[in-house]
Homo-oligomer: A and B are copies of this chain.
Amino acid sequence: MMTNSKSDSVTVADVARAAEVSKSTAARVLGNRGSASPAARNKVLAAAERLGYYPNALARAMSEGRAHTIGAVIPDISSPFFSSVVRGLTDRIREAGLEVLIINTDNDAEIEAHSLEMLATKRVDGLVLAPVIPHGSGMARLLAQRGLPIVLFDRRSEGLQDLPLVALNHEHAAQLATQHLIDLGHRRIAVATQVPSWVGRLLDPAQPAERPSAQRLRGYLSALHQADIPIDMRLIINTPYDHMGAADAVMHGLAGLDATALIATDSVVTHGAFLALQRLGIGMPDELSFVGFDDQDWTTLVSPQITVLTQPLRGLGVAAADLLSRRIAQPDEPQADVLLHGELLIRQSTRRV
């Protein structure tokens, strides 16, 4: 048994010729559409088998005008957050018969622009975009205007107000975390996060809080507000977005604060804050109650185990896939945002004050 060693692949026409039917008959049975007599069907299938035919998705995409592919444009696939989300996304989108092209932007607006352009060039059927914030390239808006279905993920950047979003309900999540501490009797609750410059207007609902950290901070503030706990700006510790920097910021920020609890609003700052508490030798939960974000491996390996607010990672990816699928199927049907709820995992780092 030998195959032709020439790399030129077998086409529908080849199969048709071998099966002694017309090209369109062969195309119909191979494409599994239209109609064909059992006789023809068998001949074609046999010929295809014999010649080792397998379809050329490129040609199909070309003539259909659809690539059966979507793009996922995200900051960094190697982060635990995005890698799990993407897993959910790809699994779900494959069920719909599409593939996913993943691009990392490293939160660089220029890379984002190039990536989006490249994907447009590839004629993807749609895009999931975790945009660079506060403002990404204008590219996404341009593509959306052209009619390309786009779903925003995790956050919305300026100028993309009209695109549907799939994200954690950041504000609600932070409220949950804060409320937990309030329920435990805490009133001096510090928060470590990336504080936006317009923090003063954060409780003003007119101000759109685009970045997740800002929305989470708002959740913190509104929980305090509802509990009639006065807001002390010194309790809001501004940190950079790397765990070493965050650790330093928390070490300094916490000094002389008489806080009885601390919330870190994302995984990186949670890591940094934990380091800071370790270095300061502050005992949890006795001296301080601590709530982190994201259910990272280490939060159950250290002692005490850390109470965290966890996100439905794969669920977020699945939701993004579903929303995008809907947009692709019904481009004109407006789609509402999908905000998933976080869940508080109460462990050992928090206790009644």
- State the A residues within 8 Å of B (CB): 3, 7, 54-59, 61-62, 67, 69, 76-80, 83-84, 86-87, 90-91, 99-104, 117-118, 120-123, 145-147, 271, 274-275, 278, 296-298, 301-302, 313-314
Contacts and interface: CB of A to CB of B under 8 A. Distances in A.
Contacts of A118: 57, 99
Given A77-B87, A87-B104, A90-B102, A58 B62 contact: yes
Contact of A298 (B76, B99, B123, B298): B298
Contact of A121 (B7, B55, B122): B55
Contacts of A78: 83-84, 86-87, 313-314
B117 A57 contact: no
A347 to B, nearest CB: 15
Given A61-B58, A123-B57, A76 B67 contact: no
A57 B122 contact: yes
A343 B243 CA distance: 23
| 7 closest residue pairs by CB, A with B | A298-B298, A83-B83, A78-B87, A78-B84, A57-B121, A57-B122, A62-B62
A117 B54 contact: yes
Given A101-B101, A146-B7, A297-B271, A83 B77 contact: yes
A100 B77 CA distance: 12
Contacts of A145: 3
A59 B62 contact: yes
Given A7-B146, A61-B58, A100-B102, A77 B77 contact: yes
Contacts of A67: 58
A313 to B, nearest CB: 8
A58 B314 CA distance: 31
A104 B122 contact: no
A90 B62 contact: no
Contacts of A313: 78
A58 B3 CA distance: 28
A55 B78 CA distance: 30
Nearest to A76: B87
A271 B296 CA distance: 13
